[in-house]
Structure formats: C-alpha cells, structure tokens
Structure 1
C-alpha cells in the first residue's frame, strides 16, 4: 500500500477514528486504525466492538492495499505536522512497518495484520430515513445532559430515540433521564421513520455522533434495527450497537397538573443561580427559590462557607412558594433554553417541576426538588 494525502484531510479522518478507540484494552488490534487504500480514496476504520466509525478521504493511491497502525500515535504525528503538508503513507510487507513521510519528517510505525481487524457485522435495518443535521443535533444536544452515569441502571445510560404521539401527530422523540431530571425533545417525523423501533443510543455514541452534525446544510442518513443504529454522511459512517434494555415509561413522571407558573429571563436566571451557588463547597448544594407575586429570591445557605441571596423580577401571580433544587441541575436545564424566557410550572415543594421554553412544547424538562 502506498498513498499520498493532504494533511488536513488525513487529520480529520484520523481524529474521528482515534476518538472511538479505547485507550485501555486487552486486545491490541482494537488500538489500531485500519487503513484501506483503493481507487482515489483512503478509508480509515476504527472500532471498540460496540461502535465502528469509517471515514473516507480523497487520496492519490499509488499502490492499493490495507494495513493497521496505532490510531493514537498516527493522530499525534499528523496533528504535529505543518498545515498544508502532503503526507505519504506506505507499508513495507517484509518489515511489517508503516512509513509516514511529510517534507523532512520521517516516521516508521509498527503494524498489525489487517486480517486480525474486527469488522462490525452489517445488520438488516428495518427503518431508513434522512434528517437535517441541525434537527438531529437539537434532539441529542438538548437531551444528553440528563443521561444517567449510574452503571447499575444501564438502560438509562443513553438517549431513548423513538416515534411518539404528540397532540395527535407522530413525532421523532429523544428522552433521557437519570431519575433526578428528565429531558424530552420532539422533532417532526421524517419520511420513512414511521415504523422505527425504539432504541437506546449509548452515551459514547451520542458524543461521537455530535462530531458529524456541525454542517447545517448536511442531511444525515439514519438506519435503525433492533440491535444497531447507523448514521451516515457522504464521508463518514458511524455504526453503533444500541443498549439492550427497556427504557422506563417516562410519561408517568412528566407532571400534567402543575398550575403555578413562573416566567423568567432564562439567561438572567442561569447567571443568578450560578452566582448564589458560588458560596457552596458542594456542587449539589440546594438553591432555594422563594416565590411571591412578580418576585423571585434565590438563596443558598452553606453553614461551612457562607450564604448568598439574589432577587429577580419575574412574572408570577400564584400563592407564595418555597422550593429547593440541586444547583447543577437547575443550571443545566436553564442552559438548554434557546428562547428568551423559561417557563417553570410548579405544583408544590415536594412535587416534580416542569420547565419549557416560552410557549414551545417540543422541548420539555422535568426536575425533582430537594429538601431545603
């Protein structure tokens, strides 16, 4: 195998590959990227056995072939090469080495046989559809903060992507929860997604997918089966196993009878929460919200380090209410709001609180209160 490739294209391809590779693994080949050169392009494939990414890049191929080399080492080399450099990759069958050359730089890297590289079995996908990158980005970006990190409840360690009914119409919905807070985000249902099975997309996959979604003009091809999900752009294919478990019935924890309504500038609210939480040594310290007519007082009382209080002018017309929340959860939810106003709907100090963005019901958040 021998090919020449522009440094920028190579860096982009190898960056995506090396981020999938697990830093610690007991199977040496899984630390490698499989490089395949043929025609006028090179293909870079990496896997951790749960996720596989394949990235294509234009290249001048002098000798077709394939080999595997350490993904992290190759990435570090390419990252440190000068912009615009032309990089030549060639493997020597006799020495079992891959030569990397650019200008006056010359590297010789150990390789492993391409036959040992595990390729994820292709799946029969029951649903195939395309969706604009900004729509998919919004679905996952606004829900991923609520993914659980508790390994024992593995079925909460991802985002539940499924088709749901909302106001008499079908929508594509993402839900994530860790038992303390919940995010439910809706988008219009793409053509072809109608019979899609509900799948739990793992946290790591959500992180890798985010890297494909920066181009607002791009359409993402999504394929879903009971066990796998695949996201494809013209250059990159990301395939992942889904979490084998049943996502709980989240509709039961979304309150419907909360009538006390607080409307507040989302940006001002987030900044005020952040300021008063500063005196707390613990990130989970409760912030108390004291509500009365058109007035909100945020306060933190940390006996070890001090106390803080801040007052905001808000729209609130119901009876007086005092309720506490984890400061971190409040900040994360408030930071999801794209519109000017956040609307909080309360029932009592002990019941879940609902939050949405202005009059938009396509993004709904639930947060459990804390005792204060």
Structure 2
C-alpha cells in the first residue's frame, strides 16, 4: 500500500478511529486501526468489539493494499505534523513496518497483519430510516446526562431509543434515567422508523455518535436491529452493539398530577443554584427551594462549611412549599433548557418533580427530591 493524503483529512479520520480504541486491552490488534486503500479513497477502521467505526477519506492511491498500525501513535504523529502538509503512507509487509512521511519528517511504525483484525459481524437491520443530524443531536444531547454510571444496573447505562406515542402523534423517543433523574425527549417519527425495535444505545456509542452530528442539516442514515444500531454519513459509519437488557417502564415515574407550577428564568435559576451550592457539603450537595407567592428562596445550610441564601423573582401562585434537591441534578436539568423559561411542576416535598422547557412538551425531565 502506498498513498498520499492531506493532513487535515487524515487527522479527522484517525482521531475518530483512535477514540474508539480501548487504551488498555489484552488483544494487541485492538489497539490498531485498519487502513485500507483502494481506488481514490482510503478507509480507517477501528473497533473495541462492541463499537466499530469506519471513516473514509479521499487520497491519491499509488498502490492499493491494507495494513494495521497503532491508532493512538498514528494520531499523535499526524496531530503534530504541520498544517497543510501532504502525508505519505507506505507499508512494507515483509518487514512489518509502515512509513509515515511529511516534508522533512519521517516515521517508521510497527504493523500487525490485516488478517488478524476483527470485523464486526453484519446484522440484518429490521428498520432503516434517515434523520437530520440536528434532530438526533437534540435527542441524545438532552438525554445523555441522565445515563446511569452504576455498572450493576447495566440496562440503565445507555439511552433507550424507541417509537412512542407523543403529545403530537407517533414520535422517535430517547429516554435515560439513573433512578434519581430522568430525561424523555421526543422528535417527529421519521419515515421508515415505524417498525423499529426499542434499543438501549450504550454511553460510549452516544459519545462517539456526537462526532457525526456536526452539521445540523446533514442526513444521517440510521439502521436498527434487535442487537445492533448503525449511524452513517457518506464518510463515516458507526456500528454498535446495543445493551442486552430490558429498559424499565419509565412512564410509571413520570408524575401526571403535579399542579403547583413555578416558572423561572432558566439561566438565572442555574446561576443562583450554582452560587448557593458553593457552600454545600460535597456528599449531599443539597439545596432547599422555599416557594411563596412569586418568590423563590434558594438556601444551603452546611454546618461544616457555612450557609448561603439567594432570592429570585418567579411566577408562582400556589400554596407555600419547601423542597430539597441535589444541586448537581438541578444544574444538569436547567442546562438543558434552550428556551428562556423553565417550568417546574411540584406535588409535595416528597414527590418527584417535573420540569419542562416553557410550553414545549417534547422534552420532559423528572428529578427526585431529597430531605434537607
């Protein structure tokens, strides 16, 4: 194999590949990226056996072929090469080496045979549809903060993507929860997504997917089966196994009868919570909300560190209420609000609280209170 490729194109492709590779693994080939050159394109494939990413880039191919080389090492080299340089890659299969040349720099890297590289088994996808990158970005970005990090509840370690009945008809829905807070985000159901099985997309896949969704208007081809999910643009294909488990019935924890309504400027609320939480104890991070007519007092009382209080003008017309929350959870939920106002719906100090973005019902958040 012998190719010439622009540094910018090479860096983009290799950085996507090296982020999938596991830093610590017992199988040496999994630290490598598979480089395949043919026609006028070169593809870079990386996998950790659960996720596989393939990134194609245009190149001048003098000699077709394939080899594998350390993904992290190649990424570091390309990252440090001068902007605008033309990079030449050529492999010597007999010596087990790949040479990387750009300007006056040259590197010689150890390779492993391409035959040893594992390729993810293809799957029969039961649903294929296209969605705009901006739509998928909103679904996953607004829900991923609530993914559980508790390994024992593995079925909560991802975002549950499925077809549901939303306020305005059939919806493509993403839900994540860790038992303390929940995010439920809806988008109009794309054509062809009707028969899609519900799948739990793992956290690492959600983070890798974010790199495909830069251009909001780009069309992303989505394919879903019971065991795998694939997201593809003309240049990049991301294939992932889904979490083998049953997502709990989240509809049971979304309160329906919360009538005490608080409307507050989302940005001001987030800043105030952040300020008073400065003195909260690291362990509990508890913040108390005291609500009275058109008045909200946020307070923290941490015997070891001190106390803090801040008052906000809000729209609230119900009876007096005192309720406590983990400040981190409140901040994460408030930071999801794109609109000016956040609407909180309370029942009592011991019941889950519902939060929406203004009058928009396509994004719903639930947070459990805590004793303060």
1:192 has 2:181 as partner? no
TM alignment of 1:47-66, pairs within 5 A: 47-66=47-66
Counterpart position of 1:337: 337
Q: Distance in 1 between matches of 2:124 and 2:279?
A: 54
- Structure 1 unmatched ranges of 5 or more: none
1:304 has 2:304 as partner? yes
- The residue matched to 2:212 in structure 1 has which SS? coil
Q: Distance in 2 between matches of 1:284 and 1:106?
A: 54
1:319 has 2:315 as partner? no
* 1:67-103 C-alpha deviation (Å, 9 max, x unpaired): 0000000000000000000000000122110000000
Counterpart position of 2:244: 244
Counterpart position of 1:182: 182
Counterpart position of 1:152: 152
RMSD in angstroms over aligned alpha carbons?
Answer: 0.7
TM alignment of 1:37-48, pairs within 5 A: 37-48=37-48
Q: Distance in 2 between matches of 1:174 and 1:168?
A: 16
Structure 1 segments of 4+ aligned residues over 4 angstroms from their partners? none
Provide TM-score, normalisation by structure 2.
Answer: 0.99
1:111 has 2:111 as partner? yes
TM alignment of 1:70-149, pairs within 5 A: 70-149=70-149
- Structure 2 unmatched ranges of 5 or more: none
The alpha carbon displacement at 1:209 in A equals 0.1
The alpha carbon displacement at 1:284 in A equals 3.7
1:203 has 2:203 as partner? yes
Q: Contact conserved, 1:125 with 1:224, CA < 8 A, in 2? A: yes
Q: Contact conserved, 1:264 with 1:342, CA < 8 A, in 2? A: yes
Q: Distance in 2 between matches of 1:93 and 1:135?
A: 45
Q: Contact conserved, 2:341 with 2:358, CA < 8 A, in 1? A: yes
The alpha carbon displacement at 1:327 in A equals 0.2
Q: Distance in 2 between matches of 1:216 and 1:348?
A: 40
Q: Distance in 2 between matches of 1:297 and 1:336?
A: 22
Q: Distance in 2 between matches of 1:298 and 1:333?
A: 16
The alpha carbon displacement at 1:280 in A equals 2.0
Q: Contact conserved, 1:273 with 1:331, CA < 8 A, in 2? A: yes
* 1:301-349 C-alpha deviation (Å, 9 max, x unpaired): 1111110000000000000000000000000000000000000000000
The alpha carbon displacement at 1:165 in A equals 0.7
Distance 1:11 1:284, change over 3 A: farther
Q: Distance in 2 between matches of 1:371 and 1:253?
A: 19
Counterpart position of 1:348: 348
Q: Contact conserved, 2:142 with 2:185, CA < 8 A, in 1? A: yes
Distance 1:363 1:283, change over 3 A: farther
Q: Contact conserved, 2:280 with 2:287, CA < 8 A, in 1? A: no
Q: Distance in 2 between matches of 1:122 and 1:166?
A: 32
Counterpart position of 1:68: 68
The alpha carbon displacement at 1:217 in A equals 2.0
TM alignment of 1:254-265, pairs within 5 A: 254-265=254-265
Q: Contact conserved, 1:337 with 1:357, CA < 8 A, in 2? A: yes
Q: Contact conserved, 1:283 with 1:328, CA < 8 A, in 2? A: no
Q: Distance in 2 between matches of 1:283 and 1:114?
A: 50
Provide TM-score, normalisation by structure 1.
Answer: 0.99
Q: Contact conserved, 1:283 with 1:327, CA < 8 A, in 2? A: no
- The residue matched to 2:153 in structure 1 has which SS? helix
* 1:241-291 C-alpha deviation (Å, 9 max, x unpaired): 000000000000000000000000000000000000011241641100000
Q: Distance in 1 between matches of 2:10 and 2:107?
A: 16
Q: Distance in 2 between matches of 1:367 and 1:168?
A: 24
Q: Distance in 1 between matches of 2:12 and 2:124?
A: 29
